[in-house]
C-alpha cells in the first residue's frame, strides 16, 4: 500500500512539474485554427536559426561584465525552476549540466530557449539529439523575460565571467 501511495505522489509531482498554474482547469482539447497554423509553423525547421533559436530575442545586451545582483537573483529563480533537473557542472541530472553553456550558445539562444522551449525542441537538431539522451522534454517554466535574463547572468557567473 505504501508503494502505491508513493507512486501516486511521484506521478502527481511529475505531471505538475512546469505546468503554468494560471491554466489549471483549462480545456486544451479544443483548438482554434490559429493554434493549428502556429503548430504547423512551429515544426517548420527551414526558418530556424541555430545561433539565435526561436523566439523574440534577437539581441541581448550583456553589458561590460557580470551583473552580480542580477546573477544572485538568477540563482534564486534557478533554484526554484531549474535546479531540480540541471546541475551547475557538466554532469547530466534529468537535463544536461550547465557548465560551459554560455560558451557553446549565444545569449539570444539561451534566452529564447528559456522562455520558448517547445518550438525550439521541435526544430533544433541538437536539442532533438539531447532529448534522445535525456528522454524528458524540458517543460516550459513560464519564465518572464527578466527571470530568463537573470538566469542567463547566473549561467555566465557559473562559467567564470567576471
Domain ranges, ordered by start, for the chain: 86-162
Residue 45 reports pLDDT greater than 60: yes
Residue 11 — pLDDT band, cuts 50, 70, 90? very low
CATH homologous superfamily, domain 86-162: Cytochrome c-like domain (1.10.760.10)
pTM over 0.75: no
Give, in order, the Cα–Cα distances in Å from 151 to each of 35, 38, 70, 73, 121.
29, 28, 8, 8, 19
Residue 9 reports pLDDT greater than 70: no
pLDDT digits (tens, 9 = 90+) for 101-118: 999 999 999 999 999 999
Q: What is the mean pLDDT of residues 11-18?
A: 44
Residue 146 reports pLDDT greater than 90: yes
pLDDT digits (tens, 9 = 90+) for 76-110: 999 999 999 999 999 999 999 999 999 999 999 99
In terms of pLDDT, which residue wins out, 16 or 88? 88
Q: What is the mean pLDDT of residues 110-131?
A: 94
Amino acid at each position: 500500500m505504501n508503494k502505491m501511495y508513493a507512486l501516486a505522489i511521484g506521478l502527481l509531482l511529475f505531471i505538475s512539474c512546469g505546468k503554468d498554474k494560471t491554466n489549471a482547469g483549462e480545456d486544451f482539447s479544443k483548438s482554434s485554427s490559429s493554434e493549428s497554423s502556429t503548430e504547423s509553423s512551429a515544426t517548420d525547421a527551414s526558418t530556424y536559426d541555430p545561433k539565435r533559436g526561436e523566439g523574440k530575442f534577437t539581441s541581448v545586451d550583456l553589458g561590460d561584465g557580470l551583473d552580480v545582483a542580477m546573477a544572485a537573483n538568477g540563482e534564486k529563480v534557478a533554484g526554484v525552476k531549474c535546479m531540480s533537473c540541471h546541475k551547475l557542472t557538466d554532469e547530466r541530472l534529468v537535463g544536461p549540466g550547465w557548465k560551459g553553456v554560455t560558451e557553446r550558445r549565444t545569449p539570444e539562444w539561451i534566452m529564447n530557449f528559456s522562455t520558448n522551449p517547445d518550438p525550439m525542441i521541435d526544430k533544433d537538431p541538437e536539442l532533438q539529439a539531447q532529448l534522445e539522451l535525456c528522454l524528458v522534454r524540458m517543460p516550459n517554466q513560464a519564465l518572464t523575460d527578466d527571470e530568463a535574463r537573470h538566469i542567463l547572468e547566473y549561467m555566465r557567473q557559473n562559467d567564470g565571467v567576471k
